A and B are shown apart, each in its own frame.
Chain A
Amino acid sequence: MTASTTTLVPPSPRGLRLSKAIPGALLLILPSLLLSAMVIGYPIFDVLRMSVADVNRFGRVLGFAGFDNFLAAFTDPIFLQSAWQTLIWTFCVVGGTVLISVPIAIILNEEFYGRTVARTIILLPWAVSLAMTALVWRFVVNGDFGTLNTTLSALGLPFDNFPWLADASTAFGIEILVGILVSMPFTVTIIMGGLTAIPDTLYEASRMDGARGLQGFRHITLPLLRPFLQIAVVLNVIYVFNSFPIIWIMTNGGPANRTDILITYVYKQAFGFGKLGTAAAGSVVMFAMLLAFSVLYLYMTRSREVQQ
């Protein structure tokens, strides 16, 4: 009954009519809602609880600790250093991924011979587990036995035995490049989805109006891609910010903690040193940072749309 009326009469913009159906609908989705609340909510609750508790290494709560755990984290110079490195890591990987993915998606959106093969190749890194990719790259950049140095020296370049992972800046640089490589397939896929949604007629019309060169890209492609780029940025930031295997496997946060990011710091605190309280406090800080970023970013990009 209600279904037929809603289809016949277009719903009012405020959705008044639909609101009548809400209690029944809520009841129907309640079981799955409860399940999600448990699966998502319980770990968050537990981490929050541990972050203000005195916990032993086996997760047994020994008492209330107030903000001692947060104090311990914030007075640890390595925590602050890791936080700063996390920002660099996330910014470089996500920025680099988007910068590279847009042109790739545009190329792959054109008709050309072998496009299917090219698309498959771009998606391949997605199919290999992150840990395996990191392990392979660690071998590739090995100073003495790695293929990278073999190739470079075969080209006559002076990179014989150059130890890429021994220096913090080259190690971090390589980890960022690997991060970009593995984030690309997902981003290209999203942007390609956006590109297929742009009708060709827009470009034809713009050409008739005298648009040349990159003008079509600047005034048609980019603005219409904005919602897709937003999604790509937000999801990538969340994903890269929390990404553990690449750094853990390639450098373990070394040398001297200069490639540690928050997630590796938290892992070391929890499982290396048995300080679950400090680790929980660190996780809460990470959670807050991501939440703040997501809200701020979505708010900023939305207000710009409204202005236009």
Chain B
Amino acid sequence: MSIRKNGFWRGLVLGTACAAFATLGLAEAALAKDTVRVRIAEYSTNTGDFFIEMADRFNASQEDIEVVIEHLPWPEMQQQLITDISAGTAPDISHMATRWMAGFAKDGALAPIEGLMSEEFTDSFVPTFLDLQKLDGHTWGLPIAASARGLFYNKALFERAGVEGPPATWGDALAAAKKVSALGDDIYGIGMQGTGLDTEGYWFYSLWTHGGDIFNADGKSGFASPEAVAATQTYIDLIEAGVTQPGVLGSNREDLQNLFSAGKLGMVLSGPWLNTQLADEAPDLAYGISQIPTETAAATYGVTDTISILAGSEVKESAMKFLEYMFNDENRLAFGKLEGFVPVLKSMSKEPFFTDNPKMSVFLEMSPVAKFAPLVPHWEEMAEALKSSLAAAYGGDSAPADALKGAADKMNSLLNE
């Protein structure tokens, strides 16, 4: 007891002394060292630790910059960033979804970084991915993660149902889904997302492979184009044939991934992160990944996430030094291995980890046909209107053409704002 007590008092005195010295030290260091606060969103439970270790290595490698990492779950990122920017407590560097970037840039929250980047650093990126971070002639961030999407199919279910190989067209997909569904009451042919994050993305697969696009040639919404109606009808046909999981309107992305992981789903459209989940939860599941089924065109949904320097940062140059470190070959390869994303650096495109693994290379192969969500302000609200229209169409509450017209009108009026 007494020793412990002594220890406590000694600790307290020592602690106070340390704190006092640290304050003095800090005041001195503040003159020399730049502190860079970096906020990272978590792709998995390992993301936070990965970046903390990276920052430790960076801090140890030089004298001038001290990087501090904060990490948050994705669902909280947007609100937290908005709150912090309005309160003046935003970090120097923040991770975000590329689709939020346009709104943040337009409202003056982000710093243009093209002037801070060396030519060599700029050249190290795959141009497609870096171009996505550009708007109104400025670069607003770096593509920290990129992914394409593919068709995951359960090989065991396909074999039992007598389906040979993954379907190449939507017609084949319907036929395959019918056979798989016939295997049992709790086995479903193909997953169909009807709610939650990225519901509109699940529809874009069909939109783009039917030759439609988010914008028509005249710059107006393409949500209600004949191709968009046909794309929606393809999905409705799957739902009405009873080959999807029941309760499409209540199924979010995680629900579908969980069903696939439980071996109850023949096919699902998803991204490379599902590889990580399956390796974790269902190591014995035999599955393959192929291209998205087509109707008139090959396409996939490409998505990037962005890491930006904020306009309010007083240490922008130091922040860029850390970003350069974050995007060196070694760190990017480690990140790719950890989270399973498509490489964004030219030098990584030939890395065996990405090219030799069939579960990764399929996403690389699809990169040339990847299409992206547009960078327009109010995109979140347009996507929300689209989700509501899709729910009405999938649920049979209104005809696809009528439902989609509502979303297109909403998008056009938001474009004029």
Contacts and interface: CB of A to CB of B under 8 A. Distances in A.
Interface in B209-255: 245-251, 255
Given A252-B196, A256-B388, A143 B246 contact: yes
Contact of A144 (B186, B196, B392): B186
Contact of A163 (B103, B250, B258): B250
B195 A162 contact: no
A133 B258 CA distance: 22
A255 B384 contact: no
B271 interface: no
Contact of A167 (B82, B249, B389): B249
Given A143-B247, A166-B247, A256-B392, A58 B186 contact: no
A299 interface: no
Given A58-B107, A273-B380, A166 B249 contact: yes
A280 to B, nearest CB: 13
B249 A273 contact: no
Contact of B246 (A56, A161, A275): A161
B23 to A, nearest CB: 32
Given A160-B185, A254-B391, A166 B248 contact: yes
Q: Which one of A165, A252, A254 has the greatest number of beta carbons of chain B within 10 Å? A: A254
Contacts of B82: 57-58, 271, 274
A251 B252 CA distance: 10
A interface SS class = loop
Contacts of A163: 246-247, 249-251
A162 B246 contact: yes
A268 interface: yes
A144 B259 contact: yes
Interface of B: 78-79, 82, 85-86, 103, 107, 109, 185-186, 194-196, 245-251, 255, 258-259, 262, 264, 378, 380-381, 384, 387-389, 391-392, 395, 397
5 contacts: A144-B262, A162-B246, A165-B247, A255-B194, A273-B380
Contacts of A57: 82, 103, 107
Interface size class of A (residues with CB under 8 A): 20 to 34
B interface SS class = helix
Interface in A47-77: 56-60
B195 A252 contact: yes
B109 A58 contact: yes
A142 B107 CA distance: 40
A145 B82 CA distance: 36
Contacts of B384: 268, 272-273
Contacts of A255: 194-195, 249-250, 391, 395
A145 B258 contact: yes
A5 B381 CA distance: 67
B165 to A, nearest CB: 27
A257 interface: yes
B381 A273 contact: yes
A198 to B, nearest CB: 46
B415 to A, nearest CB: 14
A89 B390 CA distance: 25
Contacts of B262: 144-145
6 shortest interchain CB distances as A-B pairs = A163-B247, A166-B250, A166-B247, A256-B391, A255-B249, A58-B86
